[in-house]
Amino acid sequence: MPNYNVLLVDDHPMIIAGFEQALDIISENNEEIKFKRDSAQNCTDAADYIMDSNQAYDLICLDLSLPGSKDGKYNSGEDLAKLARKCQSEAKLLICTMLENNYKVLNVMRRIDPDGFLVKSDTNPDILISAIENLLNGKTYQSATVHQMLKRTVEFSHNIDEDNLKILYLLSQGILTKNLPEHMGLSLSAIEKRKKQMKQFFDISNTNDKILLEKAKEKGFL
């Protein structure tokens, strides 16, 4: 009889309840499958569960935006994901987040490489069930929004690479072009050149950054 240990980490009790409902439905549909669940709503409790050498998790479901740990070591779900990769290396990792920004999603995929990635706006009981079942069966899973984001990134990777995505993201956060070198390993002239190339790619004649950001958002890069 398959018995799975699951850790649910989210600072919203309703999200944890949604995952628990999905686990219940899976068990009801297959009486041979049983789940033992632990849950945490902050980095402190979650880190304690993850580092428990007496507990081996099969599935860890993580939000990315979480209250930091009391000792300051873990400040986000991404920190916990890295810890899980180290301490719970056999566990399948499912990210469920509010993120809908190409740059951030791409960075999470590259730094963590989760087995599953959901955007909360996509989720419903059927999506959660599909994601959990796929991961426990050794497959991967991406919700529709994540899939479209990654598809766009691949399609336009020759023109909109990671540095360009970061430029767009930082500009969208209100950081002025002249201050971008402080946040990137690029000179101001290199950044200006990249902005010019992106405007050509988006067929923008206006030099206003606002138009560039509007076009990038329209195309799904922000």
Q: Residue 158 half-sphere exposure, CB side, CA atoms within 13 Å?
A: 2
pLDDT digits (tens, 9 = 90+) for 142-175: 998 888 777 766 666 556 778 888 899 899 999 9
CA distances to 15, 59, 200 from 205, in Å: 45, 49, 8
Tokens of 93: 């990792």
Q: Give the whole-angstrom CA distance, residue 103 versus residue 123.
A: 21
pLDDT digits (tens, 9 = 90+) for 179-221: 999 999 899 999 999 998 888 888 888 778 888 998 887 776 7
pLDDT category of residue 108 using cuts at 50, 70 and 90: confident
Examine the pLDDT at 96 and tell me if it is beyond 80.
Answer: yes
Q: Give the whole-angstrom CA distance, residue 8 versus residue 21.
A: 12
pLDDT at position 101, please? 66
The closest of 124, 143, 136 to 59, measured between CA atoms, is: 136
pLDDT at position 1, please? 55
Examine the pLDDT at 73 and tell me if it is beyond 80.
Answer: yes
Examine the pLDDT at 27 and tell me if it is beyond 80.
Answer: yes
Q: Give the whole-angstrom CA distance, residue 66 versus residue 94.
A: 15
- Which of residues 193 and 104 earns the better pLDDT score? 193
Helices 102-112 and 162-172: crossing angle, nearest 10°? Answer: 130
pLDDT at position 62, please? 95
Q: Give the whole-angstrom CA distance, residue 58 versus residue 222.
A: 34
- Give the mean model confidence (pLDDT) for residues 109-125: 89
CA distances to 78, 167, 182, 192, 217 from 211, in Å: 32, 14, 23, 15, 10
